[in-house]
Amino acid sequence: MISVAVDAPIAATLDYSWTGPPLLHGTWVWVPLGRRDVLGMVVDWKLMGVDQVLAGDRGPPLAPEKIKPIKAVVSELPAADPAWIAMMAFAARYYRRPLGTIVAGLVPKWLRDPRNFAIKPSGSNFERLWRSLESPSKKVSKSDRRIQESEHTLNPDQSKALAAMDAPGVVVLHGVTGSGKTRVYTEAARRTISSDPSAQVLVMVPEIGLTPQLVARFAQALEGVEIAVLHSEVSERERARLWLSASTGKARLVIGTRLSVMTPMPRLSLIMVDEEHDHSYKQQEGMRYSARDLAVWRAQHLGATLVLGSATPSTETWAQIKRNKYSVVSLPRRATGEPAAPIELIDTLKDPAKEGLSEKSRQAIAQVLADGGQALVFLNRRGYAPVLSCPSCGWSSRCGDCGVATVLHRPERTASSDRASAGPWRLQCHHCGIGSTVPRQCPDCGDTDLSPIGRGVQRLEDTLAAVFPQARILRIDRDTVRQGKALAVEIEKIQRHEVDIVVGTQMLAKGHDFARMRLVVVADADTQLINPDFRAPERLFATLIQVAGRAGRHEQSGVPARVLIQTRYPQHRLYTYLLQQDVAGFAQAELADRESAHLPPFSHMAAVRAAHRDEAHARKLLRSLRDDLQQFAAQQNWPISAYGPVARYPEMQAGRWRGQIVLESGSRPLLHQLLSVAEDWMAGRRELDWHVDVDPVEV
């Protein structure tokens, strides 16, 4: 009997029979599942040191006559390497998903399609498959490079940081924006690859589209080295080729987003996670894994070096530094030698933000324009206005499915005629994406005077255009820019100084280098400041540090760059640290709060979530699950608390109410044991759509 991991949500492995020569752990096979043949991987549970297979790890025992034979060994695919399987097994257990769904489910679709192989018991080999996938020119060509400058020699801080990466272990690279972290990454990769002829390096980034220059910088530093870039726009065929290239060790460097942490890389010896604090490393559906945390596990299991880079390391990471689990090196200065631009607050109770901009902000923008510099105005809110409302009866626009306010969007102006409109104004739900037309009159009282409330970037763009009619204004957000390529084009416009004022969202905050950006204005961050999520301050702080870092990166004029933040809460603790640009101090204050409130990383959390059309029914089941778990934990004397149920945000999605209970404990093993109890309980209540999120980032 052979255990095979297949992409089916039933169990970790299913049993199949086999009469041929022994099959090694990690061998890929074709097996029948229902009426189809699917790709599976042979699992030797003993070899993985798993003596006691948990409930759910294996499918229900089958009568011997029901066990089907393995169809064939996939001789084209090299067997999976044991360290990779071990990571997948850890991820499956930790994040509570059947092993097969991730082991087989993460193999590129093209490689899971038997039609791309000849199914026969023996014969064809890897080379043939490889040749069928190879495409002539997939390397980053010289013309693709957007690098003018040559790579600098490391400065003393950078050299020190690099030296800290010699030993295995986790190294936090805490470097202010513009301190030359990327330069350290490229050098570390180059060194690792050139000192060991087979070593592989994995570089993880939050979003490839947002860092168009990054890939080119690695390509330049690693002439002649095969680089696999994994992102969402890669074709299925190409994805298959890159996967094989990485899993056979051909690709020496893999650059990718969160999913790339699970790329098979048999000779992996260095992992670097850029912007390690970024929440996009946490997958929010299916297996809800944290790619950063898996990278830590993987590096430790391999005895490899892991670099966690950030200008604002996460509170969890600071806690590990404090416990001496991670070491830390810092790049406290900008590599270009420019001082960080000072941050100033504008109290909007005293200097009101008329049409979104206070007097002081307007003057500062005017000054920069007069000096021939560029200004960036930041507002993290898409659209024209966050809600459309009726002044006579209080009606406001809402999404029927999600129950949240729908956002008013004005038509985009076409490039050819600036004021010409393309299409009508629309209301759009930012959760489900559904759009609708704007009603002519209030659906409740018939008043025709509906008015937009609040301000999004489109409206701010209009204000800027009215106040600075001579300025060339460019707006950048998800509505004007859709792909990485398009963003790169806009960024180049800014770099070529074809633009005076840039107005935009979060998209602008990340790693771009704008030489003439002398002023950053944050129009409104207050809603994020008062968000009840315990991670909201940390997130906002990171965003503001990042945005502020866009100013004055290469000062030539001698006029110091400025960062202005408009807020109604200038006394907030977050701003006290922000004004000092005291990242470590802010983190220590957050840590102290978390510790006294017994929040992560001083406790561990898991959310059990459910969705159902009937809110009352879902709440009832969540409550009784909470009570049963609480009672069970009390009987066992386990220190675990269960909270909730509470509604999630948004409460409704696709017509179903969504809620959760949260389990919290100082002991991870006990928390996981209680999750097993919860899963058995949920298995008996299939009418609700359940899932578990271990270490949720939003609660």
Q: Is 175 one of the binding residues for ligand ADP (CB under 6 A)?
A: yes
Stretch that binds ligand ADP, among 181-189, 246-254, 261-269, 570-578 (CB under 6 A): 181-189
The CA angle 300-303-308, to the nearest 5 degrees, is 55
Between 117 and 514, name the residue whose CB sits nearer to ligand ADP.
514
* Per-residue three-class SS string for 503-529: EECHHHCCCCCCCCEEEEEEEECHHHH
Residue 447 binds which one of Zn ion, ligand ADP, none, with CB within 5 to 8 A depending on kind?
Answer: Zn ion
**Residues sharing a CB contact under 8 Å with residue 49, sequence separation 6 or more, in sequence order:** none
Residue 183 contact partner, candidates Zn ion, ligand ADP, none, CB within 5 to 8 A by sort of partner: ligand ADP
Interface residues for Zn ion in 365-394 (CB under 5 A)? 390, 392-393
* Ramachandran quadrant class, 521 (left: phi over 0; alpha: psi -120 to 50; beta: rest): beta
Q: Which does 154 bind (CB under 5 to 8 A by kind): ligand ADP, Zn ion, none?
A: ligand ADP
Selected from 355, 513, 615, 628, the binder of ligand ADP by CB under 6 A is 513
| Binding status of residue 335 toward ligand ADP by CB under 6 A | yes
Other C-beta atoms within 10 Å of 566: how many?
24
In this chain, which of 106, 429, 474, 540 binds Zn ion, going by CB under 5 A? 429
Q: What span, in angstroms and rounded, lies between the C-alpha atoms of 308 and 173?
A: 6
Interaction partner, residue 566 (ligand ADP, Zn ion, none; CB < 5-8 Å by kind):
none
Rounded-to-integer distance, Cα 379 and Cα 390, Å: 25
Residue 402, interface with Zn ion (CB under 5 A)?
yes
Contact 150, 217 (CB under 8 A): no
Distances, alpha carbon 663 to alpha carbons 628, 660, 672, 692, in Å: 12, 10, 10, 11
- When asked if residue 181 is in the footprint of ligand ADP (CB under 6 A), the reply is yes
Task: Report the alpha-carbon distance of residue 170 to residue 688 in Å, rounded.
Answer: 41
CA angle 544, 148, 173 (to 5 degrees): 40
Cβ proximity to Zn ion: between 528 and 653 the closer is 653
Residue 511 interacts, among ligand ADP, Zn ion, none and using kind-specific CB cut-offs from 5 to 8 Å, with: ligand ADP
Give the number of residues in contact with ligand ADP, rule: CB under 6 A.
Answer: 17
Q: Binding of ligand ADP at residue 152 (CB under 6 A)?
A: yes
CA dist., res. 612 & res. 617, Å (int): 8
Cross-strand pairs, 693: 607
Task: Out of 270, 432, 481, 487, name the contact with Zn ion by CB under 5 A.
Answer: 432
Strand partners, 590: none
395 binds Zn ion (CB under 5 A): yes
Per CB under 5 A, does 679 bind Zn ion? Answer: no
- Residue 480 found at the interface with ligand ADP (CB under 6 A): no
Q: 227 with 140: CB under 8 angstroms?
A: yes
Which of 180, 206, 212, 256 forms a contact with ligand ADP (CB under 6 A)? 180
Q: Does 256 bind ligand ADP (CB under 6 A)?
A: no
Out of ligand ADP, Zn ion, none, which partner does residue 335 contact, by CB within 5 to 8 A per kind? ligand ADP
Neighbours of 166 (CB within 10 A): 11
Q: By CB under 6 A, name the one of 13, 177, 566, 660 that touches ligand ADP.
A: 177
Minimum separation from the CB atom of position 424 to Zn ion (A): 19
In a 13 Å sphere around the CA of 168, the CA atoms on its Cβ side amount to 11
Residues in contact with 21: Cβ distance below 8 Å, sequence separation at least 6, in sequence order: none
Contact range with ligand ADP by CB under 6 A, out of 180-188, 483-491, 576-584, 611-619: 180-188
Long-range contacts of 568-577 (CB under 8 A, 24+ apart): 568/347, 568/348, 568/349, 568/526, 569/526, 569/529, 569/530, 570/345, 570/347, 572/529, 573/537, 574/529, 574/537, 574/540, 574/541, 575/345, 577/541
Give the binding range for ligand ADP (CB under 6 A) out of 37-45, 153-161, 254-262, 627-635.
153-161
Residues that bind ligand ADP (CB under 6 A): 149, 152, 154-155, 158, 175, 177-183, 335-336, 511, 513
In the complex, which residues of this chain contact Zn ion (CB under 5 A)?
Answer: 390, 392-393, 395, 399, 401-402, 429, 431-432, 442, 444-445, 447
